[in-house]
Structures are given as C-alpha cells and as structure tokens.
Structure 1
Amino acid sequence: MNGPEIHVEFAPELLLFVPQARPAGTLKAATDGVSSLGHVIESLGVPLTEVGALFVDGREVPVGHVPAAGESVTVRAVAHPQRVPGAPLRFLLDVHLGTLARRLRLLGVDTAYEATDIGDPALAARSAAEKRVMLSRDRGLLRRRELWAGAFVYSTRPEEQLPYVLGRFRPELRPWTRCTACNGLLRGATKEQVADQLKGGTHRTYDVFAQCTECGRAYWKGAHHEQLEAIVERALAGFGEDR
C-alpha cells in the first residue's frame, strides 16, 4: 500500500503483533484513500479479533472508516470481559490447543476441538456454521472473514491459557458435566453400565461413576482426580459466578 500517511498508536497489549511499532507503540502507515481502517490495521499484522475501540483524531470510528492523510489513529485492545452477542457462548479450538480444550470441557464449557489439522478454511467454516468463538494462535486463521468470532491465545502454556480465556469471555462454569474426550454431556452411571471399561482394581475400589452420553466413556474419581480438582477449584475461585 503506497500513498499519504497516517499516524497509528497501538495499545500496549497489541505490540506483540506490531514489533515495528516498539517501543513507543506508534508508527506511520500509508493509505490509499479506498481501504478501510480495519484493512490497514490487519495489513500491519493485528487481527481484528484483538481490536477494541478505534479513535481518529479523538473521535470514535467504525472499522469501516476510510482514513485520510494526516489522521491520527488510536487502536485500543478488545475489552475484557468480551461479550459475543447473538449465540450461546461456545468455543472451537485448533489442533495446537488440545490441553486447553480438555480443561475447558472439565469446567463444563462447550468446547469443540479439532485433533487433526483440517485447514483454516474448514475451521473458519465450522466456526460460522456452529456459531463458535475460534480460539487459536494462528493469526492468519483469525483474519478470515467467515469466522463467527475469534480470539488470539497469547500464551503457549496451558496454565496461562485457561485463566486468560476465562477472564476474557467469562463463560458459565459447570465442572464435571462434560466429557473431556468428546465434549458430550455426562450422566450418572451404575458400575454395571460401565463394567466393560473397568479393570479389576477399579471395579473393586470405586462405586460412583459417570458416563458420556455421546461416546460412552466412563469417568470416576481415579488417581488423577486431585490434580483435576485443583484446576477446577482455581477456576471457580477466580471466575465463578460469585466473582
């Protein structure tokens, strides 16, 4: 893009995407008199999923605003908690976020997950068809126009990813109600109903079970329950309904 320039100032949270604007958070960008401000911002490397309010010379403008030469633009980060209107809050995660997907399901959050790389077009199409918020670290994927909604997951560490997503979207938490393997809903089950999935020691030791209504997987308070309970307790303490 060549042409007259505008002055752009980015919120500190967005400098990850525009290293050329560091350390002051500002840069100059060329305009062509046709492209929208949203297009200009994305061309600089910032997915619009991460952009909040936009201001031009002190007045708020939509992403469709066509910038003129000499304008000063302020780009704020998306506000937290972020509200996604028009559908129940549900998520779709790409192949790189499997641990995050399982932990969201552990908390009862409706979370679809693609365990194989089906490609950006297919992910974006599923996000739109099922009205799910796409969570990803793939900036190109988050720039696809057909997405229902999306968010960049800033950390590579699951213990940081989970509180970030919970803080950004504040989903309703209903721990122990979803299958961590397939996202199906759980229901109580008798030992006889899940006996074919139990080894001898488990069959003798445990009496309380749940089973996925979709894939049939059995659940009980096994050896890893304390670790899972700790994840649940931290989430409820920080992001439960009474917070």
Structure 2
Amino acid sequence: MPTLTFRFYRELNDFLAPPLRQRNFSFDFAALGSIKNAIESLGVPHTEVDLVLVNGQSVNFEYRPQDGDRVSVYPLFESLDISSITRLRPYPLRESRFILDCHLGRLARYLRMLGFDCIFYGHCTDEQLVKISVDQQRILLTRDIELLKRRALTHAYYVRATKPLNQIEEIITRLQLQNSFAPFSRCTFCNAPLVKVSKQAVWSKVPEQSRRRFNDFACCKNCGRVYWKGSHYERMQRLIEKLRKK
C-alpha cells in the first residue's frame, strides 16, 4: 500500500488522534486520491488548512500524492496574506465577516457588540450556511467538524471552546482581530448598523429613569431597538479592553 509521511502544525493537531500529534508520522492508504481527501481522512477539515507542502513545494487540494511523499500541513492564516506561496486559496478575507451555525448564538452577539458583521439564524440548514459563506465571502464559524469538510467552503473555522466568553477570546486571538473592533456600532440582536439619535426621537422607548440619567442614544436602523450606556456598558468596556490585549 502507498505510504505518506505527515506533519501537522499548531492547532491542526487538535483534530488528530493523540499518538499522531506534534510529530512526523507515516500512514498507509489503500488507494491515493487527492491530498484533500488524504488530509480529511485523518480528521482534519480542509477549511482549517491554509498551506500544504509536499516535499517542500506548495500544492493545491487536487494534488494527487505519490507513494513516499512527505506532507507538511499548516493552519489558517486568516489575518496574514500568504497568497504568494499557498496554492489553496487566491486571497484571505481582508474584511472579517462571519456566519455562525445555530449553536453559537451568544458568540454572534459578542461579535456584533465588537462591531463585526455577523449573520446568525436560529434555524439554518448546512447547505444554506455553506451557500451564504461562499456567496457573501463570510467566515463560517461552527463546532460541526463534518460541516467544515464541505468541498465548496473556503473560509471557515472550528470553534474549540464551549463557553461563549472563551469562544470570543479564541476567535479574537486566533484570527488576530484586536485592531478591527468597532464597539457598539451594530445591533446585537439583528446585526444592522446603529445610528445616533436624539433623546426626543426615542423618548417613548426609553424608561423614565434612563431618560433622566443619559443623553446619548443610538437606534438600530432595522429593528428599532434603542441603546444607551446603561449598567452593562462598563462591563462590556472591560471585556473589550481585555480582548484588545489578547
């Protein structure tokens, strides 16, 4: 049987069986198809991969490996343009926009709070998620490994953490988004931009105590929700500063 020698780098090891992590290993195949199929047969979704070197040369996912090839596989470089050497994607997404699967609602709200254009539907099929990601050039965030193996996907990320606060820290750190924040510029419920409005314009929508205490208000252009710097604002500011330092 043909044999390939692999080395997976950094967080790609999360998808491998423990004995295969952080080292070179050889794997026998009954038959060799594309390098994409070989990588995914070991458990690593192609959307997590940004560079594949075979015997030191960059190849695309359609490359058909040969017996004895040495394969180095590197993780996503979403914030770094490596288009001059990689053969997998023509470009990185310079503007980070997202679509999230139905299990990541709290993460979606955190991303919107930071100002990121972030689509989230409570119910959406895998086919719809993939189509939106591709058509609108959005990074798909999910905890479904099998979804990440869809051939059409080019920009996606497997969220390792299970708690929302840990998830937002992971996304900001992994995709290096610290300098891309635009806090409190989007509606956390529907994702539409916020616009500044006068107190008089939203008088009937704001509790009396808040009308007395605050003068600065913003309103969602889509759903009409009103925002002001209430008791949650300082907590969110502390979180934002923490994330900037990640």
Per the normalisation by structure 1, the TM-score is 0.86
The answer to whether the 8 Å contact 2:97/2:137 transfers is yes
Is 2:110 the partner of 1:111? no
The amino acid across from 2:128 in the alignment is: A
**Number of aligned residue pairs:** 234
Quick one: which of 199, 218, 222 aligns to 1:214? 222
Match of 2:208?
200
**1:150-182, CA deviations, whole angstroms, 9 ceiling, x for partnerless residues?**
111122233332233223334422112111111
Q: 2:37 and 2:2 mapped to 1: Cα distance?
A: 16
Is 2:31 the partner of 1:32? yes
Q: 1:108 and 1:20 mapped to 2: Cα distance?
A: 38
Match of 2:86?
none
Tell me, what secondary structure is at the counterpart of 1:224? helix
Is 2:154 the partner of 1:155? no
Is 2:87 the partner of 1:89? no
The answer to whether the 8 Å contact 1:92/1:133 transfers is yes
Quick one: which of 222, 231, 237 aligns to 1:229? 237
**1:120-151, CA deviations, whole angstroms, 9 ceiling, x for partnerless residues?**
11111111222211011111111112235211
Tell me, what secondary structure is at the counterpart of 1:63? coil
Q: 1:148 and 1:76 mapped to 2: Cα distance?
A: 15
The amino acid across from 1:186 in the alignment is: L
Quick one: which of 38, 41, 54 aligns to 1:43? 41
Quick one: which of 164, 170, 173 aligns to 1:167? 173
Q: 2:26 and 2:106 mapped to 1: Cα distance?
A: 37
Match of 1:184?
192
Match of 2:74?
76
Q: 2:28 and 2:200 mapped to 1: Cα distance?
A: 67
Shift of 1:212: 0.6
Say which is worse superposed, 102-111 or 198-207, in terms of deviation: 198-207
Per the normalisation by structure 2, the TM-score is 0.85
Unaligned runs of 5+ in 2: 82-90
Tell me, what secondary structure is at the counterpart of 2:196? strand
Is 2:32 the partner of 1:17? no
Distance 1:49 1:23, change over 3 A: closer
Provide the alpha-carbon RMSD of the alignment: 2.2
Q: 2:127 and 2:118 mapped to 1: Cα distance?
A: 19
**1:83-132, CA deviations, whole angstroms, 9 ceiling, x for partnerless residues?**
55467431111122122211111111111112x23221111111122221
Shift of 1:20: 5.6
Identity %: 34
Segments ≥4 residues shifted beyond 4 Å = none
The amino acid across from 1:55 in the alignment is: L
Unaligned runs of 5+ in 1: 239-243
